[in-house]
Amino acid sequence: SAKINHQDHLEIGGCDVTTLVQKFGSPLYILDEETLRTACRQYRESFQRYYQGEAQVLYASKAWSCLAVCAIVASEGLGIDVVSGGELYTALSAGLSPEKIYFHGNNKSRQELLLAIQSGCTIVVDNWYELRTLVELAGEGDKETTRQGEEFFLTLPLSHSCSPIRIMLRLTPGIECHTHEYIRTGHLDSKFGFDPGDLDELFTFVSNQSALNCVGLHAHIGSQIFERQPHQDLAAVMVQWLSKAAGYGLSITELNVGGGLGVKYIESDDPPSIEEWVKPICEVIQTACAQENLPLPKLLCEPGRSLIASACVTAYTIGSSKVIPDIRTYVAVDGGMSDNPRPITYQSVYRTVVANRMSVPCTETVTIAGKHCESGDILIKNAQLPKTEPGDILVVMATGAYNYSMASNYNRLPRPAAVVVANGEANLILQRETYEDVIRQDCLPERLKS
Ligand code: LLP
């Protein structure tokens, strides 16, 4: 819900972005609650419309994990996918019920596994090492659980010793899709998941483990995907796996097709809508299950980017500029690769506007530079902007996914604040870090003190 107000300023969720920066400082992440809630509803309603069985949408919290975001998606009925003890702790602290938390990761530590067991969430097992560790931990019972898990959970209610441990198995489907090499995960040489060639051995193993309750199968093929075919192929392959499980007397009732739906960062991006993504997946699963004479599984998916990317913008203050005649003009902002590492990491592209000059014609082509000591710290190349001055507010659009969650303190920049806006009200959801925060973990040994 963005518009231009009578002062020619950008307004989001009824809040003037320029005023927000005056109040909360910059850089500032601005999360539009309504956009996030709308995306959650589009996922839920699409499954209601097109899937005849039970469905559960999980938010992939790696996209942006913090208490407020978890609370908003949970209030829309979504569950949460976590990939570390830290994300699990955040989801539990936000009040998520463990039945709606799924724990991923290709190298979960012993401690993280204990935490997961203790909390009662579902563990998405990635490999044989993890599977064997789980069997071992289940055998050791509560003793180690309390010893090692304790310190993390002092303040959290626990559903303790929920044996058997609820697990899913993650498989690598061998499906290629067109996205950046670093965020492709479904191809066979991916670091994630079991080889489907291991299925027989896996099903035999888990069917003999009374400590493990294997409820489902999982796969994720990549991120920022615009094609629809790969997920349909995936759905078909997963039903084949499901029918295989039936032969082992395993009651595997859940299929999780992962996340990956892409979003529009720039004008030429043309991803399918949420509904267009969900519908064919449901159809493929329903048709394949009918053919195989299988009951419909509970269908899960775990989008991150397509839920939250478009719900947030980052506001910066413009500072210095440098004109290199006939070559390029750099305009620098007060953040950069520490609050948005995506351009330098994946050559990602973004759209931008000047929040206090919304109707001024774009007459300049400039390169938006960050403030880090690194020439590659460029947020946007060749952006079309109106003429700007120091103090203007530059807004980069669609920064909700993998921005705050991948932010760093590079060059010891304090991480930005974030606000959630709705109906003209803005509430802080992440405090701006202070210089005290920046040195909080530093230790100065006695002998180094002067
Ligand atoms: N499930 C699993 C197992 C995943 O690994 C991921 C993303 C998702 C779900 C959510 O995918 P999404 O719906 O957001 O595409 N940092 C990169 C993206 C890495 C994605 C990692 N896994 C970026 O900024 O583009």
The per-residue pLDDT for range 208-253, each reduced to its tens digit, is 999 999 999 999 999 999 999 999 999 999 999 999 998 898 989 9
| Tokens linked to 4 | 């231009």
Amino acid at 280: P
- 306 Cβ closer than 6 Å to some ligand 1 atom: yes
**Is the CB of residue 104 below 6 angstroms from any atom belonging to ligand 1?**
yes
Taking 3-state DSSP, the helix, strand and coil percentages for the chain, each rounded to the nearest 5, stand at 35, 25, 40
Give the active site residues.
373
Chain segment 371-421, per-residue pLDDT in tens: 999 999 999 999 999 999 999 999 999 999 999 999 999 999 999 999 999
Question: What is the pLDDT of the chain when averaged over all its residues?
Answer: 93
Q: Cβ(7)–Cβ(360) under 8 Å?
A: no
CA of 24 from ligand 1 middle (Å) equals: 30
Q: Residues for the chain: how many in total?
A: 450
302 lines ligand 1 (CB under 6 A): yes
Q: What is the reported pLDDT for 334?
A: 98
Tokens of 176: 């290629």
Residues of the chain with CATH 2.40.37.10: 2-31+310-433
Helices (H), 263-354: 274-292, 305-308, 342-346
Higher-confidence position of 189 and 351:
351
pLDDT of residue 159: 47
Give the ligand 1 atom nearest the CA of 170. 3
d(CA 168, CA 252): 9
For the chain, residues classed under CATH 3.20.20.10 are 105-303
3-class secondary-structure state, position 131:
helix
Q: Is 302 annotated as a binding residue?
A: yes
- Residue 124 CA: nearest ligand 1 atom is 3
50 assigned ligand-binding residue: no
User: pLDDT band for position 190 (50/70/90)?
Assistant: confident
Residue 360's alpha-carbon distances to 314, 323, 355, in angstroms, are 20, 21, 10
Higher pLDDT, 159 or 195: 195
Which of the listed residues 40, 56, 62 should we mutate to test ligand 1's pocket, taking the one with most ligand atoms within 8 A of CB? 62
Looking at domain 105-303, what is its CATH homologous superfamily?
A: Alanine racemase (3.20.20.10)
CA 38 to ligand 1 center in whole angstroms: 20
* Alpha carbon distance 426, 420 (integer Å): 6
Q: Is 271 in the pocket of ligand 1 (CB under 6 A)?
A: no
pLDDT (0 to 100) of residue 307: 98
Is pLDDT above 90 for 174? Answer: no
**Residue whose structure tokens are 């560790």:** 133
- 69 against 249, higher pLDDT: 69
- Mean pLDDT value across residues 167-178: 88
Check whether 41 is labelled as a binding-site residue.
no
Rounded mean pLDDT of 256-275?
98
pTM confidence score: 0.95
Across 62-66, 87-91, 161-165, 411-415, least confident range: 161-165
Rounded distance, CA 327 to CA 382, Å?
11
- CB distance 342 to ligand 1 below 6 Å: yes
The CATH topology of domain 2-31+310-433 is Lyase, Ornithine Decarboxylase; Chain A, domain 1 (2.40.37)
pLDDT score, position 139: 83
Percent share of the chain, pLDDT over 70:
93
Q: How far is the CA of 221 from the centre of ligand 1 (A)?
A: 9
Q: How many whole angstroms separate alpha carbon 333 and alpha carbon 27?
A: 9
Does residue 65 carry a pLDDT above 70?
A: yes
Peptide bond into 98 cis (omega under 30): no
Decide if pLDDT at 172 tops 60. yes
Instruction: Give the confidence band of 132 by pLDDT, cuts at 50, 70, 90.
Output: very high
- ipTM of the complex model: 0.99
For residue 310, CA distances in Å to 313, 318, 429 come to 8, 22, 17
